[in-house]
Amino acid sequence: MNRWMLVFVLLGIFCCFSCGKEKNYIADVPVDIPVNSPYFTVYSAPGSFLLIKGGVAGIVLYKKQSGEIVAYDRCSSFNPEQACAITVNDPPITATDPCSGSLFSLEDGSSLKAPATRPLKRYSVIITNSQIRVYN
């Protein structure tokens, strides 16, 4: 019996030290921002975008080709501790991390070009009476 107990204790210790702590996630910060801009409304054309303050490195609001409005933190998912803000490309369907060269889709936030493998952090968007609000 003591032999099995020793095996389980050693196995537990091995598991604790062999599992690294997950890192490289964009920090969770409170976001609750009403968007009042004449340059970006629910009536904006698909492909339109607006950069606003908030989140870790700013927020990009983007109107998808389907008409849905999405919001992403501008902090790149590659080495997020650097808080490198993505820049929207022309045409505005993708965004680039100027620090690593990673490329992201603004349609779904996915990584299109390495070294980033994780998507951009997405925030919730609600539209009430033509007013846009970004929150988490």
DSSP string, 46-114: TT-EEEES-TTT-EEEEE-TTS-EEEEESB-SSSGGG-PBPEE-SSTTEEE-TTT--EEETTT--EEET
CATH number where 110 lies: 2.102.10.10
pLDDT given for residue 8 in this prediction: 55
Going residue by residue through the chain (136 aa), what tens digit of pLDDT does each one get? Answer: 566 655 555 555 655 555 544 456 899 999 999 999 999 999 999 999 999 999 999 999 999 999 999 999 999 999 999 999 999 999 889 999 999 999 999 999 999 999 999 999 999 999 999 899 999 9
pLDDT given for residue 53 in this prediction: 97
pLDDT given for residue 57 in this prediction: 98
pLDDT given for residue 60 in this prediction: 98
79 in a domain, yes or no?
A: yes
**SS3 label, residue 10:** helix
127 in a domain, yes or no?
A: yes
Token pair for residue 30? 């409170």
5 in a domain, yes or no?
A: no
If one counts the domains in the chain, the total is 1
128 in a domain, yes or no?
A: yes
68 in a domain, yes or no?
A: yes
7 in a domain, yes or no?
A: no
pLDDT given for residue 1 in this prediction: 54
Q: What residues make up the domain containing 119?
A: 25-135
pLDDT given for residue 25 in this prediction: 85
Cβ atoms of 91 and 47 closer than 8 Å: yes
8 in a domain, yes or no?
A: no
44 in a domain, yes or no?
A: yes
